[in-house]
Chain A
Amino acid sequence: MVFEYYIFDIEGDETMAVPFHRVKIAEGVSFTAVQDSKFKHNRLSVSMILPLEEGKLAERAIVPYILRQGTRKYPDVTKINERLSDLYGASLEASVEKFGAYQLLNIGMVGIDSRFAFEGEDMVRELASQLADILLDPYLENGAFSVKETELEKEYLKDTIEAEINDKRSYAIMRCKSAMCDGEKLALSKLGTIEEVEAITPQSAYKAYLELLDTAQIEFILCGSGDPETACEEFRSRFSGVERHPVAVDLEICRKLPTVKEKDITETMAGVTQGKLVLAFRSETTDDPAEQAAARMAIVMLGGTGTSLLHVNVREKLSLCYYCMARMDSVTGIMLIDSGVEAENCDKTKAACLEQLQKLQNNDFEDKLLSETKLFMKTAFSATSDSLGALETWYLTKILCDSMETPMDTLAYCQAVTREEVVAAAQKLKLDTVYRLIPEKEAE
């Protein structure tokens, strides 16, 4: 069954219409296409989604990285990269993400459209068949992944886990979230632990791969100017006759809001000059798009633009920091404010941030903050329809939330948000964990 949606901008501006369709091609396997002739490229990806499961995270996480290194037809890193060059320098990326309490394994390709190919090759067909090969026809040795590939990718995975410390901003956020969600599934690392990685064998990774093919929800997404039918047919034929036992994605399991338990954590690190402050809040999550829009608006008004409360007051007026931003994960309801500050200014910055949040909660803000944020949202959501990567992320997120909302639908909800709804959304935010990363010399 093919669902077809034609979406128009709220004002009926046809330049912003982005037709997309979504179709089931096998049990737990779907294909979604967003087609727009303005693009010169096609972006094709496959995502495999399973609940975060302690003990299995690493052996699943390694799978896309091993698959990326070769197929039966192009069995090593040189051969597969030669193939990508023949596809006019198509890119091939593997990644692992966390979506609520789910692990999301992704392999994506981007290549030019047929109209720029020298000999008019059908580039969508080429990309689709290559992606299908990468997913379904890997290079194997003795009925398992190659020993060498597995060892190399194990090292890579270990290095990636250890490299979390390299970027101090994301490190501070990660530490804050894991402290906050200690004991919950949400605290699990998307890549697993070093010990789990070390235990991986070519056989165990291959077994995890087969389990993914059998049980994961699989989403193919094509965004670009090419013909979706070609890609859809390729994937459909490759999955025909395959019997699967997919585990449905049920976001309810990551929406249960634990009670807020205020924690105050300070960690020290040698060799850094700047302190990092992360304030983590919890809020309820909801399926109601109007309430979601109110929460989204509240966060952007608080710290999402150059005229937001945090930017104007904490950065510009108090000159405390270069960045001070608020962001929210709508799936988990976790909201973070983060900033890079002098260690001695951490408490002052925390107080200033909370003061700004209180303004929202106490209905103490100017009308123009709301009206201007609505205008800003129009620009932000329009930009989504101009970017292949943003479109893919948008629709994958929506699919997982079992929603068919387009960027323009969400924009319409944002435009309708009232002052009272912003206040109500802000009042739901409860401070949970305060995390500080302090240079070691300051701590002494």
Chain B
Amino acid sequence: MNKEIIRSEKLREEYVKIQHPSGLTMLLCPMEGFSTSYAMFTTKYGSVDSCFKTNLEPDYFEIPAGTAHYLEHKMFEQEDGDAFGRFAQIGASPNAFTTFDKTAYLFACSDGFKESLEILLDFVSTPYFTPETVAKEQGIIGQEIGMYDDSAESRVFFNLLSALYVNHPVRLDIAGSVESIAEITDKTLYRVYNTFYHLSNMVLTIACNFSVEDVLEVADKVLKKGVDIEIIRKTPEEPKHIAKAYVEQNMPVATPLFCIGFKGSDAGNRKNFENMILDEMIIDLVCGEMTPLYRSLYEDGLINNGLNGEVMASRDYICTIIEGESRDPKEVQRRLLSEIEKLQGSGFDNELFERCKKATYGRYIGLYSKPETVASVLVSTYFAEMTLYELLDLVAGVSKEQLEARLRENLQADCCALSVVSAQPMEV
């Protein structure tokens, strides 16, 4: 068994990376003083993995939108009951989530860590799908989709992605649609499970109060090595240009909600993640609360609840998103584009850059503070082929020139789309 200690001098903390004989990678981070432990068992499989095969199969398999999320729901059901019931006997609190690029199963507990871990590893390793149990979930997930359909925040976000991307499956809702999930069968779920829930495609992360020996003991007992496979994903060719520059949906909201997005160029898995950190700082330098642009938008009453920026990056996509509420989203976009153009020429103000760097450093310290965040960031950094602490080193090492170069190549006006949700039609 391969065991490696990964240490941060800055934080004076460390975690252990273990390559278990079953093929599973484990990242175990003890955190002193906390009462609740978090364990997260994650597969590198999300809603964007919609066409795939293994090296042992001749043909690609295409699955309906929403399959990853559907499978996540069904994993909890077991032949002799459901996993919720098993966790309840110990008092652990289980949960799960599906994103564009991963599906995670987790629990929090204060007592009974070892038993809870055994349940987690066992239920995720034991699929049980029948035509009846799969059909039963249609009603529940149908209502979940209905809830997202009525959520303005959710609509404005997913509509933006459908405007930015022409072919990439990131343009589709993670939960799929009522129509697409109707096509999912037990056979679909087994095929997906046997491909993506292979231990070599998964990672176990644990943060807080636990002993490494206990983890290994449970893993040795529950996890069995499968036949080696290679997963081959097929993602349609994505052009550089966006699908459409403007998308609008009308539903009951007060002030219109908007999302302005910039499609970035794919630079590969790890590089996308590094660029994400740079792009987050760039958002702060372009329209963060210290900037002249923010001040003008605020003082002119164009944003009423601040601006939120986020960068979404994964294996083969990256985009920058700025969202808020405004009576005139187009004017916000116009001013944003004009500020970006100006800064692409002039570069960033020195003092502002130093402040932004200090603030970003402070915010990143936050990622190392809570067990649930640590368990989750361990996963994202691992999938991005870096260590937990490299993140902080990256932030500490960023130069103004680096950000300026990135700004010039990334935030391009012709790769920008605007998504609006408003009560009344805004475009005639």
Cβ contact within 8 Å between A372 and B84: no
B152 and A166 within 8 A (CB): yes
Give Cα A320 to B288, complex, Å. Answer: 43
Smallest CB gap from A123: residue in B? B362
Instruction: Kindly supply a per-residue 1/0 record for chain A positions 164-180, scoring 1 wherever the CB is within 8 Å of any chain B CB and 0 otherwise.
Output: 11111100000000000
Is A380 a contact partner of B35 (Cβ separation < 8 A)? no
Residue A41 lies at the interface, judged by CB distance under 8 Å to chain B: yes
- A274 partner, pick from B149, B209, B325, beta carbons under 8 A: B149
Residues of B281-302 whose CB lies within 8 A of A: 288-292, 294-295, 298-299, 301
21 inter-chain pairs at a CB distance below 8 angstroms, sorted by A residue, are: A15-B209, A39-B369, A85-B355, A85-B356, A89-B363, A159-B325, A163-B325, A274-B150, A306-B84, A307-B84, A319-B136, A319-B139, A340-B146, A372-B89, A372-B91, A375-B89, A376-B88, A376-B93, A378-B110, A379-B109, A383-B110
In the bound complex, CA of A350 to CA of B371 (Å)? 38
Bound complex: CA of A37 vs CA of B33, how far in Å? 8
* Contacting residue for A81 out of B138, B289, B305, B361, CB 8 A: B289
Complex CA gap A320/B136 in Å reads 10
Residues from chain B with a CB closer than 8 A to the CB of A41 are 365-366, 369
Known: A89-B359, A89-B360, A165-B252. 15 other contacts (CB 8 A): A38-B31, A40-B365, A78-B292, A86-B358, A167-B151, A271-B251, A306-B94, A307-B84, A372-B88, A376-B88, A379-B91, A382-B35, A382-B110, A383-B108, A383-B110
Binding site for B on A (CB under 8 A): 9, 15-16, 36-41, 76-78, 81-82, 84-90, 111-112, 116, 118, 148, 152, 155-156, 159-160, 162-169, 269-274, 305-307, 315-316, 319-323, 340-342, 368, 372, 374-380, 382-383, 385-387
Q: Flag if A169 contacts B358 (CB, 8 Å).
A: no
In this complex, how many residues of chain B approach chain A with their Cβ under 8 Å: the count is: 72
Interface residues of B (CB under 8 A from A): 31-36, 82, 84-85, 87-94, 108-112, 136-141, 143-144, 146-147, 149-153, 209, 250-255, 257, 288-292, 294-295, 298-299, 301, 304-305, 325, 355-356, 358-363, 365-366, 368-371
A76 touches B136 (CB 8 A): no
Whole-angstrom distance between the Cβ of B300 and the nearest chain A Cβ: 9
**Contact in complex: A155, B304 (CB < 8 Å):** yes
The distance from the CB of A155 to the nearest CB of chain B, in whole angstroms, is 6
Q: Would you call A155 and B359 a contact (CB within 8 A)?
A: no
Nearest CB of chain B from residue A251's CB, rounded to whole Å: 30
Interface centre among B34, B109, B371, by most chain A C-beta atoms within 10 angstroms, is: B34
The answer, among B36, B141, B147, B305, for a CB contact under 8 Å with A160, is B305
Q: Which residues of chain A are within 8 angstroms of B144 by Cβ–Cβ distance? A: 322
Q: Which residue of B lies closest to A305 (CB)?
A: B88
Which residue of the partner chain A has the closest CB to B252? Answer: A271
* Cα–Cα distance between A51 and B294 once the two chains are bound (Å): 36
Q: Is the CB of A81 within 8 A of B290?
A: yes
| Cα–Cα, bound, A378→B365 (Å) | 28
Q: Is the CB of A271 within 8 A of B250?
A: yes
Do residues B139 and A320 form an inter-chain contact, with CB atoms below 8 A?
Answer: yes
**A-B complex: 8 closest residue pairs judged by Cβ atoms:** A375-B91, A88-B362, A38-B33, A89-B359, A319-B139, A162-B254, A274-B146, A89-B362
Chain A residues near B251 (CB-CB < 8 A): 271-272
Q: Give every chain B residue within 8 A of A377 (Cβ-Cβ).
A: 91
B87: A residues at CB distance < 8 A: 306
A152, B301: Cβ atoms closer than 8 Å? yes
Given that A166-B253, A305-B88, A322-B140 are contacting pairs, would A379 and B361 also be in contact in the complex, using a CB cutoff of 8 Å? no
Chain B contacts for A118, CB-based, 8 A: 358
Asked if residues B369 and A274 are in contact (CB atoms below 8 Å), the reply is no
List, in ascending order, chain A residues with CB within 8 A of B361's CB: 88-89
Complex CA gap A115/B238 in Å reads: 46
Once bound together, how far apart are the Cα atoms of A111 and B362, in whole Å? 8
CB distance from A352 to the nearest CB of B (A): 13
Residue of A nearest to B208 (CB): A386
Most interface-central of B108, B137, B288 (chain A CB within 10 A): B108
CB-CB under 8 A from B36, the residues of chain A are 379, 382-383, 386
Please name all residues of chain A whose beta carbon is closer than 8 Å to the beta carbon of B91 when the two chains form the complex: 372, 374-379
Interface pair B110/A156, CB less than 8 Å apart: no
State the CA gap A168–B85 with chains docked (Å): 31
Q: Of residues B34, B150, B250, which shows the largest number of chain A Cβ atoms within 10 Å of its Cβ?
A: B150
Counting chain A CB atoms within 10 Å of each CB, the highest count among B32, B91, B254, B366 belongs to B91
In the complex, what distance in Å separates the CA atom of A385 from the CA atom of B149?
Answer: 36
Which residues in B have their C-beta under 8 angstroms from that of A38?
31-34
Q: Is the CB of B147 within 8 A of A375?
A: no
Q: How far is the CA of A380 from the CA of B91 in the complex (A)?
A: 9
> Who on chain B is nearest to A39 by CB?
B369
Q: With A and B bound together, what is the CA distance between A9 and B84 in angstroms?
A: 26
Contact indicator B254/A86 (Cβ below 8 Å): no
**Max chain A C-beta neighbours (<10 A), residue from B89, B139, B257:** B139
**Residue on B with the closest CB to A156?**
B304
- A342 contacts which chain B residues (CB < 8 A)? 143, 146
Q: Note all chain A residues with C-beta closer than 8 A to B304.
A: 155-156, 159-160
Contact at B147–A340, with CB atoms within 8 Å? yes
Residues on the A chain within 8 Å of B110, using CB: 378-379, 382-383
In whole angstroms, how far apart are the Cα atoms of A323 and B148 in the complex?
A: 12
Tell me the minimal C-beta distance from B299 to chain A in angstroms.
7
Interface centre among B35, B301, B370, by most chain A C-beta atoms within 10 angstroms, is B35
Chain A: CB-nearest residue to B93: A379
Residues on the B chain within 8 Å of A383, using CB:
35-36, 108, 110
- A305 / chain B contacts, CB cutoff of 8 Å: 88, 93
CA distance A38 to B141 in the complex (A): 39
Q: Which chain A positions have C-beta within 8 A of B362?
A: 87-90, 111-112, 116
Nearest chain B residue, comparing its CB with the CB of A341: B143
Known contacts: A155-B301, A319-B139. The answer to whether A375 contacts B290 by CB under 8 A is: no
- Residues on A with beta carbons closer than 8 Å to the beta carbon of B140: 315-316, 319, 321-322
- Collect the chain B residues with CB atoms within 8 Å of residue A162's CB: 254-255
The minimal Cβ–Cβ distance linking B12 to chain A, given in whole angstroms, is 9
List, in ascending order, chain A residues with CB within 8 A of B146's CB: 273-274, 340, 342
Q: How far is the CA of A376 from the CA of B110 in the complex (A)?
A: 9
Write out the residue numbers on chain A whose beta carbons fall within 8 Å of the beta carbon of B152: 166-167
Within the complex, what minimum Cβ distance (angstroms) separates A246 from chain B?
Answer: 32
From A164, A305, A375, A387, residue with most partner B Cβ within 10 Å: A375
Complex Cα gap A382–B289 (Å): 36
Decide if A15 touches B295 in the complex (CB within 8 Å): no
Docked-complex contact A77 and B298, CB < 8 angstroms: yes
What chain A residues lie within 8 Å of B289 (beta carbons)? 77-78, 81, 84
Chain A residues with CB below 8 A from B252, complex form: 165-166, 269-272
Q: Which chain A residues border B290 with CB–CB below 8 Å?
A: 78, 81-82, 85
Cβ contacts under 8 Å, B90 to chain A: 375
Known contacts being A322-B141, A378-B111, A379-B108, is A273 close to B92, with CB within 8 Å?
A: no
Residues of B within 8 A of A374 (CB): 91
A82 to B354, CA, bound (A): 11
Q: How far, in whole Å, are A164 and B299 apart by their CA atoms in the complex?
A: 24
Contact B365 A112 (CB under 8 A): yes
Contact B108 A85 (CB under 8 A): no
How many Å lie between the Cα of A306 and that of B87 in the bound state?
A: 10
Q: Is the CB of B305 within 8 A of A272?
A: no
- Chain A residues whose CB sits within 8 angstroms of the CB of B325 once the complex forms: 159, 163
B254 and A159 contact, CB distance less than 8 A = yes
Closest to B364 in A: A89
